[in-house]
Structure 1
Amino acid sequence: MSDLDATTPRVFLARHGETEWTKSGQYTGKTDIELTEQGIKQVTSTGSRLVGQGKLIDPSAVVHVWVSPRRRALKTFELLFGGTMEKENNNVTVTEDIAEWDYGEYEGLLVGQIKERRRKQGLDVGSSFNIWRDGCEGGESPEQVTERLDRLIAKIKEHQQPYMNNEKPADVVLVAHGLILRCFVKRWLNYPLDFPLSMMMPPGAISNHDINEPAFNIGIALPADA
C-alpha cells in the first residue's frame, strides 16, 4: 500500500482554473465564462501530477464524480481526467447541486461595489455584508445553498458507506467553484454556512476530505507548466 492510499473513502475537491473574473475578483456564478490560457495550464499541470494510475487521484479508485454544469468546471474536469472518465459514464454526474452560489443581482460585481450598493439601500446598518449570512439579492440564500449541498452529501455517503472498511476503493471527486466548495466543507463538517471558518482555495487547487474524520485540508494550486 502506498503513502497515497486511503484508509477510508475520500472526497477530493477540485476548483476550476483561472478565468478573467477570478483575476478581477468579480462575483462569477451563472455567467458561463471560459478558462484563461493560464487557467488551462494550471489545471493541466495539476492533472499531470495528481491524476492517473498510482497517483493521488487514481481513476480506478473513483466511484463517482460530480461536476458543475458551468463551462469552466466542465473544461477543468476534461483536463484533469484526460478522457479516463467521460461525462456520459454512469459514474459522472453534471449537476446544479455543486454549481457556484447564484449571486443574483451581484453577478459580475466586486465586493466593494456590493457593499456600496447595499449601503445606499440602507442595508447592513451596524454590520458589514456577509454572503454566508446575508445571501444575494435575486439569487440564493444560505438556506437554499445548504439544502442542495446537504442533498449532495447524502448521495456521497450512500456511495461510500458500504466501503468504510476498505472493501474496495470508493473515492469521490467534486469539480466546481471556489465559494461553493468552501460551503461544501462547512456542511461536510456539519457547520452552518455563517460559521466563522476562514478558508481559501486558489484556482486549480485540489484538496481531500476523509469521510471518517471530519477535518479538512484546503488544497494548493501547483505551478503551471511553462
Structure 2
Amino acid sequence: MQATPRVCANHSIHIMADSKPHDSMHIWLIRHGETEWSKSGQHTGSTDIPLTDEGRKQASALAPVLAAQSFDLVLTSPMSRARETCKLAGLGDQAEVEPSLHEWDYGIYEGRKTVDIRQEIPDWSVWTSPMPQGEIAADIGRRAQSVIDRLTGSGKTHIAIFSHAHFLRVLAAQWVTGTATFGAHLVLDTASMSVLGFERDTRAIIKWNLRA
C-alpha cells in the first residue's frame, strides 16, 4: 500500500501504518560510539573497527539514560563497535546478536571517503550509485524491512537496537515511508539515540539524533 509521508506540527515525520498499530511500541535506535573511521568519514561496513577512547566515553554516557527505560528486547549488530557500545551502555547482558543489523556493505568503496570517491565519480552517492561487490539502497531497505517485520511480530513493546549510521537511517526511513533512500535526509551522530513509534495509528519518528 502506498502512502505519503507528512510532517505534523511537532515536526515528526510519519506515514500511515499498513497494519494494526502498537500504540505503546517504542523502538530505540542507538548508533555505536566513535571509531577512527567514523571520525575520518571513511565508509565502514564489513571492517570491524573498534571504538576509540572517545567512543567508549560516549557509549558509557548512554547508560544512565537507557537505565531509566525497561526494555523487553535488546538487539545488537554482530560488529564489535556495536556490541561494545551496547555493553558500555549497560545492556550487554540482555542483548541478542541480530546478523541483519550489520552495516551497509560498501563493496569496493569500503574504507573510502565520499569526497575521495567523487574525485573519480563526481555525482557519486551511497544512496543512488551502483555499489560493485556490495549492497545498493534497495538491498538495505529489504534487510531493514525484515527487521521491522520481526519487531512488529514479536509482541515486544520496548525495544533497543544497537547498530550503525546508514543502516539505522534506512531502518527509520522504511518505518515511516517504506523507501530506503529517504534515509539520506536523516543524519545520525555517533552514540546518538532515536526513537520510532506511533502517533495514534500513524508510524512516527518520535525522537531523532539525541545525545546523552
User: Does TM, scored on the shorter chain, surpass 0.5?
Assistant: yes
Give the number of the structure whose alpha-carbon radius of gyration is greater: 1
Q: Please say if 1:130 is aligned against 2:125.
A: yes
Q: Please say if 1:220 is aligned against 2:190.
A: no
Query: If the length of structure 1 is used for normalisation, what is the TM-score?
Result: 0.77
Q: 1:221 to 1:107 in 2, by over 3 A?
A: same
1:133-148 superposed matches below 5 A: 133-148=128-143
Alignment length (residue pairs): 188
Query: If the length of structure 2 is used for normalisation, what is the TM-score?
Result: 0.81
Counterpart pick for 1:188 among 160, 175, 179: 175
Structure having the larger proportion of residues in strand: 2
Paired residues of 1:209 and 1:215 also in contact (CA < 8 A): yes
Q: Please say if 1:159 is aligned against 2:174.
A: no
State the AA in 1 paired with 2:125.
N
Q: 1:196 to 1:39 in 2, by over 3 A?
A: closer
Consecutive unaligned residues in structure 1, runs of 5 or more: 1-5, 120-127, 164-169
Q: 1:158 to 1:183 in 2, by over 3 A?
A: same
Paired residues of 1:63 and 1:159 also in contact (CA < 8 A): no
Name the CA distance, whole Å, in 2 between partners of 1:183 and 1:135: 17
Q: Please say if 1:117 is aligned against 2:112.
A: no
Counterpart pick for 1:98 among 93, 101, 105: 101
Root-mean-square deviation over aligned CA pairs: 2.0
Residue of structure 2 in register with 1:70 after alignment: 79
Name the CA distance, whole Å, in 2 between partners of 1:147 and 1:37: 34
Residue of structure 2 in register with 1:123 after alignment: none
Name the CA distance, whole Å, in 2 between partners of 1:135 and 1:199: 21
Instruction: Encode CA deviations 1:3-59: one digit per residue, 9 max, x unaligned.
Output: xxx961100000000000111111111100000000000110121x2122xx1x22x
State the AA in 2 paired with 1:189.
V
Residue of structure 2 in register with 1:46 after alignment: 62
1:79-94 superposed matches below 5 A: 79-81=88-90, 83-85=92-94, 87=95, 92=96, 94=97
Paired residues of 2:173 and 2:183 also in contact (CA < 8 A): no
Residue of structure 1 in register with 2:17 after alignment: none
Counterpart pick for 1:28 among 44, 58, 61: 44
Name the CA distance, whole Å, in 2 between partners of 1:9 and 1:117: 45
State the secondary structure of the residue aligned to 2:78. Answer: coil
